Amino acid sequence: MLFSCIVQAAHRSLGIPQYNPGKSFTGNWGVFGDDIVVRKSVYGAVIRLLTICGFTVNVEKSFSSNGGFRESCGYDAFFGKDVRGVYIKTLQTQQDFTYVINLLNLWSAAHWVPLPSLVGFLTKRLKKVLYVPPWENVDAGIHVPLSLVRRRNLLRSNKVGSIVYLRYTPIVSRIFIRDDRVRVKAGEKQRIYNPYGLWLAFLRGDVKGLGKSSWAISVRQNQKSFGVQRALAPNWDVSTRWVGAVPHYLERGISANVWETFVELNLLG
């Protein structure tokens, strides 16, 4: 909120119109956490206002005149063209392989470069290959078009016409709360009962009732563990944006046909 106010103040002080981002319009500014995007004409005023307000700007990661390169929220662009590579930090779990395969397929479709050898090599390292819709979590399974899955007969439909599929789902660690105490699983860090913190968690919607004056709150985990779970897809191949299920290729500006072509090239090549 503070950064948004600073950006708006910079626009007003310079007399530059401000266009708010919306569902169908990108606008001419944006704030996501500590990531700020503005036009070059407002850049200097925003930096000055941030400094006056006591914030320290990382100028080494701020771009206004260094050629055509820009970076924001993990998106690297050169004159508006996505040039971000695929960074493989670890390949220790099945989800690590799934995550990398999905990113490589997206990169392949974005740059029209088939990667059948690399994607095939990684896919063979999966003990269990799960195919999921293109709007699923990146580590839930391999994103594929419905046509590819049907060829392998791995899907079935339920009574209402939704598609049943299997996906990797994080196993959530939780703490359990009674009226006056906190209970954790054996071996986990003990917690102090904090009624004010409990009310805050209630207001945030983080508390799940278990009955008999008992509640559960999910806690952050450094290392995720996964299980396999059934899921339903009312619509697998989504060609337009709709709330709650935006295919990752659309977020990258890739058409459905191009993405489907390169996924099939990489997985069947």
pLDDT in tens, 124-171: 999 888 999 999 989 999 999 988 887 665 667 767 777 888 899 887
**Residue 88, domain member (yes or no):** no
* Alpha carbon distances (Å) from 42 to 7, 29, 34: 8, 10, 17
Are 198 and 241 within one domain? no
Tell which residue, 52, 62, 56, has the closest CA to residue 10: 52
Are 25 and 114 within one domain? no
**Which segments of the chain are extended strands (E)?**
29-32, 35-38, 69-72, 75-78, 81-82, 131-132, 142-143, 156-157, 163-171, 174-177, 182-183, 207-209, 215-218, 225-233
pTM, entire model: 0.68
Q: Which comes out higher in pLDDT, residue 202 or 152?
A: 202
Look up the domain containing 204 and give its range: 173-218
How big, in percent rounded to 5, are the helix, strand and coil portions of the chain? Answer: 35, 20, 45
Q: Which of 47, 82, 117 is the last residue of a domain?
A: 82
Q: Residue 132: phi, psi to the nearest 5?
A: -130, 165
Are 156 and 242 within one domain? yes
Q: Which of 82, 116, 150 is the last residue of a domain?
A: 82
Q: Is 220 helix (H, G, I), strand (E, B) or coil?
A: coil
State how far the Cα of 180 lies from the Cα of 41, in Å rounded to an integer.
56
Q: What is the tally of structural domains in the chain?
A: 3
**Residue 38, domain member (yes or no):** yes
User: Range with the lowest mean pLDDT among 64-78, 151-165, 216-230, 235-249?
Assistant: 235-249
